[in-house]
Amino acid sequence: MTADIICFFVALLVFYKTLPYSRRLTLTMISDFIMAKRMRRTSSSNVSGRVKNVEEEKEDAGLSVRGPTFGANELFNFIAEKNKGLIEEMQQLLQKAGIRHKNALLDFMKQKAIASIALFIFALLYLVTENISLPFGISVPIIMIGSVVGGHMLTNMYMRQTANKRKDAIEHGVPDLVDLMVICSESGLDLNRSIRRIARELRTSNPVLADELSLTSIELEMIPDHKLVFQNLEDRTDCMEIKTFSKTLSQSIEYGSSLSVSLRDLALESRQKRMINAETKAAQAPALLTLPMMLFIMPCLFIVMLGPLIISVVRDFGGK
């Protein structure tokens, strides 16, 4: 039983490590197959068929009122129609993870399908090789349901981990953002030009935050309502420091208060918060180092201190 558990965790680790490569290979094969199928369909169709295909492409591009569409994937379209809340949750998760390309949701659904199939194959092989008391007709549906749920949860867990890493990177760059915003506001730059300049300056030190600021700058030029722009920034980052920063900018614009004074107070608060976090981590260091010291350092000290004594005792008793 212990060996089976170890093999399961090893297989799960291998699955996590090989998931990006298998996903890239699978998506490449699927795209090549779909492209070849479309080319054969285009070459063999007449003028009326071409018009019909154009209409289908328009519907697949998002003009349908059924909600999110996934091209020719009828299964994904059915899931999108029946579970709109689930689709919206996945879209928000992808947005927080910084994945915004055109086929992001489709790729995410394919990842879920690949993970479910991999779990089903692994569980089926385990069922065949081991002596399971359950009948085969009962265990297979259970494995199918568990594989679908497990694939969904594993991909969501992986995407949440990516979103948390992105959130930590954004939180780390907020104090620098506030300081640069103070400098730009006091130098006479307006809000849009300040954000664009800060995004250019942070491109090397914090590219994640620079991407979000660049997108915010574009939205400020296209959307007249600044509250909506800052709300979109909060939804994309899901960071408390960014929420405080955007609320400060929004209130300063709305009530006409001094932006530089508000940002100076916010900069002081963010620096103090970073210092408190650093002191907290430093205070936790002794407790965290206790177990590594007991496992790795203390045995070496005992060997160095007691080793000569043990050798001399063995020699004395061996000589007698």
Which residue, 109, 150, 142, is CA-closest to 124? 142
CB atoms within 10 A of CB 80: 20
Alpha helices per DSSP H over 45-135: 47-58, 74-82, 84-96, 104-129
Q: How far apart are CA 80 and CA 300, in angstroms?
A: 59
Tokens of 114: 């690949």
Q: Which amino acid does the sequence have at 98? A: G
Contact 205, 304 (CB under 8 A): no
Cα angle 109, 111, 113 (rounded to 5 degrees) comes to 70
CB atoms within 10 A of CB 248: 19
Contact 115, 154 (CB under 8 A): yes
Domain ranges of the chain: 2-41+53-165, 168-274
Per-residue pLDDT of the chain (320 residues; tens, 9 = 90+): 555 556 566 666 666 666 666 666 666 666 666 666 666 665 555 444 443 443 444 333 333 334 444 454 566 666 666 677 777 788 888 888 888 877 888 888 888 888 888 888 888 887 777 766 667 677 778 888 888 888 888 888 988 888 888 988 888 888 888 888 888 888 888 888 888 899 998 888 888 888 889 988 888 888 888 888 888 888 888 888 888 888 888 888 777 777 778 788 888 887 788 788 888 888 888 888 888 888 888 888 888 888 888 888 888 877 55
Please give the pLDDT value at position 46.
46
Helix (H, G, I), strand (E, B), or coil: what is residue 98?
Answer: coil
Q: How many residues does the chain have?
A: 320
Question: Structure pTM?
Answer: 0.61
Please give the pLDDT value at position 13.
65
Cα angle 12, 16, 17 (rounded to 5 degrees) comes to 120
Half-sphere exposure of 247 toward its Cβ, with a 13 Å CA cutoff? 8
Radius of gyration of the chain from Cα atoms?
29
Alpha helices per DSSP H over 103-206: 104-129, 136-186, 191-201
* Residue 241 backbone phi and psi in degrees, to 5: -65, -40
Please give the pLDDT value at position 31.
61
Write the Ramachandran bin of 189: left for phi over 0, alpha for psi from -120 to 50, otherwise beta.
beta
Q: How far apart are CA 127 and CA 121, in angstroms?
A: 10
Contact 158, 16 (CB under 8 A): yes
Contact 196, 219 (CB under 8 A): no
Please give the pLDDT value at position 285.
84
